[in-house]
Amino acid sequence: MRWTCCLCTVGQVVHTLPEGEPVHGVTLLADEVYVLRRQLCDQVEVYDVINYRLQRCLTVPNSLGLITDMTSCKHYRCVYIADDYPGTCIHRLDVQGDFTQWAVNDKPEGLSVNAAHNVLVTCDEVRKIKEFSSHGDLLRELTLRDDVINPSHAIQTRNGEFIVCHGGLRDAVRRVCKISADGRHIIKSHGGQPGSDIGQCDVPTHLAVDSNEFVFVADRCNSRVTLLSPTLDYIRQVVSPDDLKGGPNRLCLDIHRRRLYVTDSEYNKHGKFTTGRVVVFSV
């Protein structure tokens, strides 16, 4: 089957946001770019989407530096931030600047918003995807198969299936999977044993999906972003190690402007992030 990709060229760097503290999330809302940095008090920097000028800074209340991801919802005009402390919660920030939060009760690792405008929270330690309403009502829990170890991010497709990336530094299997709507069956996968060949990945940490369900994969330990077809076949490398100082950790795709936002994080020999920035690619 021939697929048509609306975003399929090799990425070109168009801008780099300032380097500083490690970046643990990037998202778009209302023509602004939200960048989440890990500091003593986690801080969100807000830039305009045209000239990338800093507009304002926001402090996440009641956070002690264990933020893991960030996403946004155009429908409800808000940003969601996953926090492993206190109490493993989700912070909700609306465009007026009001913060609320709700408990997840398991460690949240990745965030996305589905077609129903609900929040999907990937909980790596318990292999679960939890679906919440915009105001924190738990709608369902999906337990993934035993062989989907340490899932870091999940995105739901239009037909209800899930694209999930999983596998950390200590795991023998590191891949991207398409999983059935009930979480019981792996329909297709990309990867397996860690490596750098085109059919492999090494700690895939985050995903972005375009309007035709092509999949961008942040392949952290290979310092690249790869593009997969809707059936998870390899197409090309979009971002190469030459474009990054460290490894990609989070992605955000602006389909309208054909921009891919990639968090580029340097880390030390112990695997701890030291510095970070956001690199903007045209795709």
Per-residue pLDDT tens over the stretch 166-184: 999 999 999 999 999 999 9
3 assigned to some structural domain: no
What gap in Å lies between CA 114 and CA 73, rounded to an integer? Answer: 9
What gap in Å lies between CA 82 and CA 129, rounded to an integer? Answer: 13
261 assigned to some structural domain: yes
pLDDT in tens, 96-140: 888 999 999 999 999 999 999 999 999 999 999 999 999 999 999
What gap in Å lies between CA 71 and CA 131, rounded to an integer? Answer: 14
Quote the pLDDT of residue 274: 82
Name which of 215-229, 235-249, 259-273 the model is least confident about: 259-273
Q: Compute the Cα dihedral for 148, 83, 262, 208 and give only its sign.
A: positive
Selected residue with higher pLDDT from 143 and 60: 143
CA 172 to chain centre: 22
240 assigned to some structural domain: yes
Closest CA to 79 of 103, 60, 107, 56: 60
- Alpha carbon separation from 222 to 62, 107, 267 (Å, rounded): 35, 26, 13
Residue 210: pLDDT over 80: yes
83 assigned to some structural domain: yes
How many Å is the Cα radius of gyration of the chain? 17
CB 210 within 8 A of CB 217: no
CB 217 within 8 A of CB 176: yes
- Name the domain count of the chain: 1
101 assigned to some structural domain: yes
Its domain, for residue 195, covers 12-282
CB 217 within 8 A of CB 235: no
- Alpha carbon separation from 48 to 30, 52, 275 (Å, rounded): 9, 5, 22
CB 198 within 8 A of CB 234: yes
Residue 62 is part of a domain; what is its CATH number? 2.120.10.30
Counted residue by residue, the chain has a size of 283
CB 35 within 8 A of CB 26: yes
2 assigned to some structural domain: no
5 assigned to some structural domain: no
What gap in Å lies between CA 113 and CA 81, rounded to an integer? Answer: 12
Residue 95: pLDDT over 70: yes
pLDDT in tens, 32-90: 999 998 765 568 999 999 999 999 998 888 776 688 999 999 999 999 999 987 679 99
Average model confidence (pLDDT) across the chain: 92
Across the strands, what pairs with 262?
251, 279
52 assigned to some structural domain: yes
